[in-house]
């Protein structure tokens, strides 16, 4: 009888151990999968594909709805996409998941800057940049977007120069400089900036179409044609139509 009880106890302990291992493996797998989605989303951000980043972060949320970093990344992505209602809804979720209030307050400030509400924010910009940490490009991007929306191109240019100085491998400020040049019909300068952006990041979303537009405006049709015929560049369709009309 004692022998049988001993065997039953061992089986019980083994079962508990196996269950514990399975739970641990499942938890580890989920953590790894969430981290992988975060990585993929950040890569999408880096090539200017905020919509693609959103897909990755929503997938991460489905894996672990209570992950604080996922909620923060969703707040930031909705802010970058200009989707204020969705961003506001995510702020409370991120706070409930334990995300520091300071990080969320910064996103609110950047949302205001991005939408052009800059008058009250300008005095705080130098301090924000000196304490930016890894958020330097995000701060620059939001303020540049706001200034461009308000047609304050000189102020946008000042930030862009500092942005390029601190982050020379970031293609986004080159794209912004190119867009400003397009606005002023300075097509050679726009071409130069878009080429620099593509040299830094050949897959940057929309850069090929913008370069094509600058080339078409200069009547460089032979250079524009191979770029705009490349179907993998989904954003090239509008510039491709302009090329066909110009020829």
For 167-213, how does the pLDDT look when each residue is reduced to its tens digit (9 = 90+)?
A: 999 999 999 999 999 999 999 999 999 999 999 999 999 899 899 98
Last residue of a domain, one of 119, 149, 168: 168
Per the structure, the count of domains in the chain is 3
Q: How far is it, in rounded angstroms, from Cα 163 to Cα 174?
A: 10
93 located within any domain: yes
For residues 199 and 156, membership in a common domain is answered with: no
What are phi and psi for residue 56, nearest 5 degrees? -65, -40
Give a yes or no: residue 204 inside a domain: yes
What's the pLDDT score for residue 235?
53
Residue 157 and residue 175 in one domain: no
Model pTM greater than 0.85? no
With b meaning 16 or more CB within 10 Å and e meaning fewer, what string describes 105-140?
ebbebbbebbbeebeebeeebeebbeeeeebbbbbb
pLDDT digit string, tens, across residues 62-107: 999 999 999 999 999 999 999 999 998 899 899 998 888 888 999 9
Residue 4 lies in a domain: no
Of 44, 78, 99, at which residue does a domain stop? 99
What is the domain range of residue 207? Answer: 171-247
Last residue of one domain, picked from the residues 168, 195, 214: 168
């Amino acid at each position: 009888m004692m022998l049988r009880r001993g065997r039953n106890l061992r089986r019980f302990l083994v079962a508990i151990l196996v269950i514990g291992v399975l739970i641990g493996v499942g938890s580890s797998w989920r953590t790894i999968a969430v981290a992988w989605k975060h990585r993929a989303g950040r890569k999408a951000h880096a090539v200017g594909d905020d919509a693609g980043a959103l897909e990755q972060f929503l997938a991460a949320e489905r894996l672990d709805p209570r992950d604080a970093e996922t909620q923060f990344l969703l707040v930031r992505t909705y802010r970058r996409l200009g989707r204020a209602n969705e961003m506001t809804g995510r702020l409370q979720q991120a706070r409930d998941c334990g995300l520091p209030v300071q990080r969320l307050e910064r996103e609110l400030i950047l949302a205001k800057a991005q939408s052009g509400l800059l008058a009250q924010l300008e005095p705080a910009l130098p301090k924000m940049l000196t304490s930016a940490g890894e958020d330097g490009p995000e701060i620059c991007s939001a303020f540049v977007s706001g200034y461009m929306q308000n047609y304050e191109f000189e102020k946008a240019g000042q930030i862009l120069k500092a942005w390029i100085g601190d982050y020379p491998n970031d293609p986004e400020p080159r794209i912004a400089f190119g867009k400003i040049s397009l606005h002023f019909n300075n097509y050679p300068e726009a071409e130069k900036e878009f080429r620099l952006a593509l040299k830094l990041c050949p897959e940057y979303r929309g850069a090929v179409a913008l370069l094509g537009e600058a080339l078409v405006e200069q009547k460089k049709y032979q250079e524009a044609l191979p770029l705009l015929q490349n179907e993998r560049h989904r954003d090239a369709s509008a510039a491709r139509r302009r090329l066909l009309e110009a020829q």
